[in-house]
Amino acid sequence: MVNRKIKIIVLQGGFEPECFASRLNGETIYKALLSAGYENVQQVEVDENIISVLGNTSPDFAFISLFCKWGEDGVIQSLLEILKIPYSGSGIEASSLCNNKYLFSMFAKGIGIQVPKTKLFLSGDEIDSNSIKYPCVVKPLYQGNSVGISFVDNEVQLNDAVDTAFQHGNSIILQEFIKGREFTVGVIDIPYKGARVLPIIEMKLGRNIQDNEIKEKDILIEEVVPAEISEKEREELERDSLLLHKRSGCLGVSRFDVRQDKQGNFFFLENNTCPAVMDLETNDLPRQLTAANISIENYVDNMVQIGFDRRAAKIDYSYFSHLESKI
């Protein structure tokens, strides 16, 4: 049991388009920590002064509520490691791997999990539209919250989508569109008990993908939790999600986006290592926690305890040994 009198800071804000969501998320975490009995909790805005702020604040623990760059890519984790401040969530290596959509896709494929066909392009690369199979999805390499993502049906749409994605960085991916159903799978670590898969959600969308317009205009039709899938399908999703969470070295929480094609095959798209909890009624992870009878107070308390118990979590490459003969 962690001492409830420790000084906890909630790191929020940052420099990315999602900074507004990060602050709302931080507010929820702040209130949940207080409700869980922690007496000394403070919200801290992450900006160019964060190093001196951390030095002056001298926290016992940092709860990360930062999305995308700095928060989910290993940067803030590196700073906290240097300053020897315990923190929530995945470490440097797992954060940087999962935040890079291309590397995550290649890693998942390398351990035998199906992913959509994915191509990486850097700024200045020539994209031969004739070599692209439509429909496809264009994404910034690092951005979250569906920022800069586009569904593409033809060459004209491709040019616009590429321009949009490159507004958010100098690297993008073009990914095969998997026509079918969409799911989100949450995995959390329970202190002293290990990783657990939360009830799976099916996202019934009002359009092809979860782009920014879905979130802005509420085009999502319905979220079904638990998802109406067979026991065999549930076991497959749980097995692969646990495998990815553990082998990639994630800690605390993962939330995987998954598509299922018409033949019943599952394809893992990406992993969110800092899933939103800003709205306890509508955000995916809180809904999964509720379905599993886990309160938001229990969740943040678990994240603190696991953060303090952190070992040097590294990517587990042992699973690759039996694949070497196939490479």
Q: Which two tokens stand for residue 161?
A: 């989508």
- The residue from 176, 192, 222 where one domain ends is 176
Q: Give one DSSP letter per residue of 52-114, joined into a string.
A: HHHHHH--SEEEE---STTTTSSHHHHHHHHHT--BSS--HHHHHHHHSHHHHHHHHHHTT--
Question: Can you tell me whether residue 279 is helix, strand or coil?
Answer: coil
For the cut 60, the answer to whether the pLDDT of residue 323 exceeds it is: no
The three-point CA angle 219-276-238 to 5° equals: 90
* Assigned domain for 219 exists: yes
In a shared domain, residues 100 and 149: no
For the cut 80, the answer to whether the pLDDT of residue 318 exceeds it is: no
Mean pLDDT of 208-224: 56
* Count of domains observed in the chain: 3
Fill in the DSSP letter of residue 325: G
CB 138 within 8 A of CB 168: no
CATH number of domain containing 166: 3.30.1490.20
* Assigned domain for 297 exists: yes
* Assigned domain for 153 exists: yes
Q: Which DSSP helix (H) or strand (E) runs through 11?
A: strand 7-13
In a shared domain, residues 208 and 75: no
In a shared domain, residues 108 and 224: yes
Give CA separation, 152 vs 134, 137, 207, 215, 234, in Å. Answer: 7, 6, 12, 18, 30
CATH number of domain containing 62: 3.40.50.20
* Assigned domain for 60 exists: yes
Fill in the DSSP letter of residue 22: H
Fill in the DSSP letter of residue 295: -
In a shared domain, residues 110 and 139: no
Q: Which of 181, 188, 172, 203 is nearest to 101 (CA)?
A: 172
In a shared domain, residues 206 and 290: yes
Q: Which of 42, 98, 106, 159 is nearest to 323 (CA)?
A: 106
CATH number of domain containing 198: 3.30.470.20
Residue with the two structure tokens 């329970």: 190
Q: Which of 172, 85, 174, 75 is nearest to 124 (CA)?
A: 172
Q: Give the torsion sign (CA, 127, 98, 49, 52).
A: negative
Q: If pLDDT is split at 50, 70 and 90, which confidence band does 217 have?
A: very low
In a shared domain, residues 267 and 191: yes
Q: Which DSSP helix (H) or strand (E) runs through 216?
A: helix 212-217
For the cut 50, the answer to whether the pLDDT of residue 216 exceeds it is: no
**Cβ-based burial of 179 (10 A; exposed 0-12, middle 13-18, buried ≥19):** exposed
Q: Which of 285, 78, 51 is nearest to 185 (CA)?
A: 285
* Assigned domain for 205 exists: yes
In a shared domain, residues 72 and 154: no
In a shared domain, residues 163 and 199: no
Q: If pLDDT is split at 50, 70 and 90, which confidence band does 324 have?
A: low
In a shared domain, residues 101 and 82: no
**pLDDT, the chain, mean:** 89
- The residue from 157, 176, 195 where one domain ends is 176
* Assigned domain for 122 exists: yes
- The residue from 176, 195, 215 where one domain ends is 176
User: Which value, to the nearest 10 degrees, does the dihedral of the CA atoms of residues 259, 211, 119, 75 take?
Assistant: -100
- Total residues found in the chain within this entry: 327
- Structural domain of 259: 96-114+179-320
User: Which value, to the nearest 10 degrees, does the dihedral of the CA atoms of residues 289, 253, 70, 8 take?
Assistant: 70
To the nearest 10 degrees (0 to 180), the angle between helices 92-99 and 101-110 is 100
* Assigned domain for 326 exists: no
Residue with the two structure tokens 């196939």: 326
- Residue 113: what pLDDT? 96
For the cut 50, the answer to whether the pLDDT of residue 255 exceeds it is: yes
* Assigned domain for 1 exists: no
For the cut 90, the answer to whether the pLDDT of residue 143 exceeds it is: no
For the cut 50, the answer to whether the pLDDT of residue 302 exceeds it is: yes
Mean pLDDT of 5-32: 92
Kindly provide the b/e burial profile for residues 51-71, where b requires at least 16 CB atoms within 10 angstroms of the residue's own CB.
Answer: eeebeeeebbbbbbbbbbbbb
d(CA 206, CA 249): 34
Lowest mean pLDDT among 44-48, 82-86, 109-113, 143-147: 143-147
- Residue 128: what pLDDT? 80
